[in-house]
Amino acid sequence: MRVTLLAFGVLRDQLGNTPGPIELPSGATVSLLLDHCRARVPENSAPWSSIAVAVNQEYVPATHLLAEGDEVALLPPVSGGSKTAKTPGPASTAPTADRPIPTILLSHDPISAGSLALSFKRGEDGALVVFDGIVRNNTRGRRTLHLFYEAYAEMAITQMRQLADKAIADFPIRDVAIVHRLGRLEIGDTSVVIVVASAHRAAAFDACRWLIDTLKQTVPIWKKEFFEDGAVWAQGDPFPPELTVRAATNAKKRVAGTRKRERAR
């Protein structure tokens, strides 16, 4: 059985940049694929315990059975966010004529938060909340030269759209826009803009905060920071526990340990 392996951020660097097609036995699980990948990487040099895995752009556990032609993506923790963010679920209602399709975009071009906000204003809006994420000139006491963002683009767009739809369904707001920049960004550039339009400010503030916190913990976008003395992939907060492969992997180890003890009796 052949699957296509993708890796991003620090995992791509550790696996040699071009994982590509992988041959696996029929009935292989994500866990078996991870064992194959670990064998290619120096001990403790990759964040295996905190990664997530997506098969055909959907998060899956380590026990997931793979099939011929699957696209398997290894996802290290994303660019960083609030540890209180909740995992996005499906929207409780779909967009309608009264709930328009949100503006969702990944762009290699500069983003103008002001222009996006102006295009969003409507007569029925009493509040427009804008989050404008900006590249700063230092990180943890080190002078930042520039940043580089990469994404698992197809999955990122899907996840961003799910977040926007859920925000529109769960908060009393009118509309949402999420635009994230990719590629090289200089100091002062905008990396992400979120705009929320609502009749009332409280709902707009709440929805905007939930959107950026959750995006920064669950959407597959990674940030590489360039300093005067080197470059590193930003160590983001762990994925929510239900999205990581750790729980299933630890369960597998416990079962193996139990069997080993039973054989020793």
pLDDT in tens, the chain (265 residues): 999 999 999 888 888 766 688 899 999 999 999 988 888 776 666 677 788 999 999 999 999 999 999 999 999 988 754 444 444 444 433 444 454 567 999 999 999 999 999 999 999 999 999 999 999 999 888 999 999 999 999 999 999 999 999 999 999 999 999 999 999 999 999 999 999 999 999 999 999 999 999 999 999 999 999 999 999 998 776 787 788 775 444 444 433 443 444 444 4
Distance CA 250, CA 254 (A): 6
| Cβ count within 10 A of residue 69 | 10
Tokens of 139: 């990180």
Residue extents of the structural domains in the chain:
2-77+240-252, 103-233
103-233: what CATH class? alpha beta
Task: Tell me if 77 sits within 8 A of 236, measured CB to CB.
Answer: yes
Residue with tokens 């670990």: 38
Classify strands 230-233 and 142-151 as parallel, antiparallel or unpaired.
unpaired
With left for phi above 0 and alpha for psi between -120 and 50, is residue 16 left, alpha or beta? left
Q: Which CATH number fits domain 2-77+240-252: 1.10.760.10, 3.40.50.720, 3.10.20.30, 3.40.50.740?
A: 3.10.20.30
Residue with tokens 């779909």: 94
Closest Cα to residue 169, out of 102, 88, 94, 98?
94
